[in-house]
Chains A and B, each alone.
Chain A
Amino acid sequence: MRPILLQGHERSLTQIKFNREGDLLFSCSKDHVINVWFSHNGERLGTYNGHNGTIWTVDVDPESKFMVSGSADNTLRLWSVQTGKNLFTWEFPTAVKRVDFNDDGTQVVCITEQRMGHQCAIRVFEINRDGDGSDQSPDPIYFFNPIGSKATVCAFTNVPDVIFTGHESGKVALFNLKKEEEMNNNERAHGDTVTDLQLSKDRTYCITSSKDKSARIHDTKTLQVIKTFTTETPLNSASLMPNRPYVLLGGGQEAMSVTTTSLRQGKFETRFWHKIFEEEVGRVKGHFGPINTNLLCFWGEDGFVRVHHFDDSFFKAKPYGDLEIAD
């Protein structure tokens, strides 16, 4: 399982995302550029230039037509995946930390940072998919400031106008955009900052990771905690493996201490946990990002992306016997 190394960023990576088919991989970085790669061979397909600051977050729509990115240059940008053109730019008073497309690519939600007298804000923009995509409204359709602790991650649920949010305090919540109210929350979902969020394909459940060293699966309808995965290091990332009953947890140390410790010392590890039994089943050195059916993707502070392909034996193996587990 020799990894493919994607070289093309000059500074550390902040987020990576596959498109729906899994053939394209988008990576963003502190080096102000977004790259898109063919995931099967690691060849770079293109670069998206325009941001003037660290790019914190990226997402691609279900048709791989549009991509959005959020940056420390206080902008949210819409891009043509195919041509690399920056189609539209929204400007804010503070950095954009997280973006997410809804299921049909018609809306984008973004979180802007709390800083210098500005509260953390969540905005939703309607995406006009007609024409070349450059005709967008500059105004959000929804805009609100999260209650209490600031939001660190967010995503659309499968219920229109309802988003799931994770917070600095460890809280998770459901927010109804139309009614402008928090519908439900779990203040004690985590004991520390929620660092990552990934929804299941049908968005009926999700996994969160936290600095509190645990990851949890939540029912996105009730916010009930379904599963808990407790590790011994702060977690930066959590991912659901499609079609296999595993979750992947990435972490190792505080971001602050990264500069003082070499990656090679193996502080960053990806842990494979059984999603149902809550048992750790394996570890790989290195950090990771989202995965598709047969790929495991690591990103490192060194600016490289490593893509591992799982071989067939992994998918055929049934280490826990013949129990059929629903996705």
Chain B
Amino acid sequence: EDAAEESNVSAELIALRKRLVDEWNAWRALRKRELADERGHRAGRRSPSSEDKEEIE
């Protein structure tokens, strides 16, 4: 019945939710890409003990 109720939500609300999801997905995609890059770097250097390069801005 939750699903049925949701079908009545206004167009504005649907637009808002779409925007929120788009923002979330864009942020997730960015962080996932960065993480993959960083892990690639670390694996490439093959010296797990000397990782002082990582900086969080």
Contact = CB atoms under 8 A, between A and B. Distances in A.
Contacts of B18: 323
A319 B56 contact: no
Nearest to A282: B2
A258 interface: no
Chain B facing A: main interface SS: helix
A253 to B, nearest CB: 28
Given A325-B21, A326-B29, A320 B51 contact: no
A178 B53 CA distance: 11
Contacts of B57: 221-222
A320 B56 contact: no
Chain A facing B: main interface SS: loop
A226 interface: yes
A160 B28 contact: no
Greatest chain B CB density within 10 A among A159, A219, A222, A281 is at A159
B24 A276 contact: yes
Contacts of B38: 158-159
B3 A317 contact: yes
Interface of B: 2-3, 6, 14, 17-18, 20-21, 24-25, 27-29, 31-32, 34-35, 38, 42, 48, 51-52, 54, 56-57
15 contacts: A159-B38, A160-B54, A161-B52, A161-B54, A178-B52, A202-B31, A219-B27, A221-B34, A221-B57, A321-B14, A324-B21, A324-B25, A326-B29, A326-B32, A327-B28
